Amino acid sequence: MKKLIIMLAALAMVAAFTASAMADVSLYGSARFNTYSVDTDKEFSGLNFDTRDTQWRMGNLSRFGAIFKGDTVGGRFELDARNGSKGTYSPDTDTTGASGLGNMRLRLLYGTWNFGSGELLIGQNYPLYNFAISSIAYTTGGLQPYGGVAYADPRVSQIRVTFGNLKVAFITPYTAKDGYDGAPPDDYDYTTEPKLPKVEVEYDLKFDPMAFQLVAGYQSYDALNSAEDSKSIDSWVIAGAGKVHFGPAYINLALSYRVNGGNYGVWTAVNEDAQWSDGDFQDAKTFGAVGAIGWKINDMFTVEASAGYLSADYDNLGSAEDTARSYGFLAQIHLAPGVMIQPEFVVLDKDKIKDAAGQEFDQGKQTAIGVWWKIDFK
């Protein structure tokens, strides 16, 4: 057994030296911890009572990875710690700790090739439809579900080409939403038939001290029910983001508009699914906005306030509407290189939902106050 261990260690060392000779390899990691007190309305959670919970656990975005850089070929992989029996995460109900069951998840795994006039990327990476605006950590992604620009599953398989400021990505279609919810029982026996990959295009502009991004995406698939009645669900998104620095101050803003965003796979706090009505799919149309304003007081302290708004309405469904809003305040306190604590106050408000007849229903809110901890190492 000892000989086997020695042999494996020797092989690992040889592999490490070989990789170092072929490419520049850098390892990194980030340990994160959540300490929040969370008040949740029953309308927000769907329970029959309000709750007050304490989150005291390893942050589920704790991670480690490696970046490979060669002359023309490179790559990256990244894993993170997960909780739950299937590696899933629920910030509202889970307090066991992100690695309580030893689960890991693949976040990133891709290779790149610089072919001179551009770059080819294949593998799993962030989509182009992804703008970081708010620094709030409680939601694990700023205020993205409340007006931001991101996917519910934020890293996707893709083939991407980059030519200067222009990027084009061909992405695995998102077909988890069949669109037949609310249809007659026979229609629940369905399958989805994507014909082409999802396509996204991004263009970036930078004029110091300003930076702008514009992205658009399109996806289409057929939903086939038990009667072999095929219906098409088309989704498209468009979003723009801008970041401006004024000395120690900064302003970030993103605006988005999407049609059937739920079927596209966006991260959302409202119902953006195509609605089944009158024997066909009715489009869900959503407008979102999220912004942040911050001030870097010095190398140790930064403060930020952010807010988001999201509103969806639906074709041929009368006055039906679903809205949500959020806001948050934080202070970043850098104790040492790579060591930071971030006190936060966050309100996530699902606001009102209105049915086709115009009757409104309160959906409650969730309030979190606490501290997010982070130590980066490499």
At residue 49, the pLDDT reads 93
Span 233-259, average pLDDT: 96
pLDDT at 190: 61
Name the token pair of 168.
Answer: 């084009």
What are the domain boundaries of the chain? 118-377
pLDDT of residue 59: 77
pLDDT reading at 95 higher than 60: no
Work out the percent of the chain whose per-residue pLDDT is above 90: 65
* Phi, psi (deg, nearest 5) at residue 105: -130, 140
Tokens 């072919």 belong to 115
Residues 271-283 have a mean pLDDT of 85
Q: Are 258 and 272 spatial neighbours (Cβ–Cβ below 8 Å)?
A: yes
Q: What type of residue sits at position 249?
A: A
CATH topology for 118-377 is Porin (2.40.160)
Tokens read off for 322: 């679903």
pLDDT tens-digit profile of 155-181?
Answer: 999 999 999 999 999 999 998 765 555
Residue of 104 and 209 predicted with greater confidence: 209
pLDDT at 249: 97
Instruction: Share the mean pLDDT of the chain.
Output: 86
Distance of CA 350 to the CA centre of its chain: 18
Interstrand relation of 230-246 and 210-224 (parallel, antiparallel or unpaired): antiparallel
- Residue 66 buriedness (CB in 10 A; 0-12 / 13-18 / 19+): middle
Model confidence band, residue 192 (pLDDT cutoffs 50, 70, 90): confident
Top-confidence range, 42-56, 73-87, 111-125, 266-280 = 111-125
Q: What is the pLDDT of residue 320?
A: 83
Is the predicted pLDDT of residue 358 greater than 70, yes or no? yes
3-state secondary structure the chain: CHHHHHHHHHHHHHHHHHHHHHCEEEEEEEEEEEEEEEEECHHHHCCCCCEEEEEEEECCCCEEEEEEECCCEEEEEEEEEECCCCCCCCCCCCCCCCCCCCEEEEEEEEEEEECCCCEEEEEEECCCCCECCCCCCCCCECEHHHCCECECCCCEEEEEEEECCEEEEEECCCCCCCCCCCCCHHHHCCEEEECCCEEEEEEEEEECCEEEEEEEEEEEEEEECCCCCEEEEEEEEEEEEEEEEECCEEEEEEEEEEECHHHHCECCCCCCCCEEECCEEECEEEEEEEEEEEEECCCCEEEEEEEEEEEEEECCCCCCEEEEEEEEEEEEEEEECCEEEEEEEEEEECCEEECCCCCEEECCEEEEEEEEEEEEEC
Give the pLDDT band (50/70/90) at residue 88. very low
Asked whether the beta carbons of 163 and 169 are under 8 A apart, the reply is: no
Which has more confidence, 218 or 230? 218
| pLDDT in the model for residue 354 | 83
Q: At residue 43, does pLDDT exceed 90?
A: yes
What's the rounded mean pLDDT across residues 23-28?
92
Of the pLDDT bands very low, low, confident and very high (cuts 50, 70, 90), residue 104 is confident
What pTM was estimated for this model as a whole? 0.85
Single out the residue of 234, 211, 231, 209 nearest to residue 222, CA to CA. 231
pLDDT at 196: 93
Q: What is the mean pLDDT of residues 52-79?
A: 92
**pLDDT tens-digit profile of 283-295?**
999 999 999 999 9
- At position 254, the amino acid (one-letter code) is A
Residue 171: the pLDDT is 97
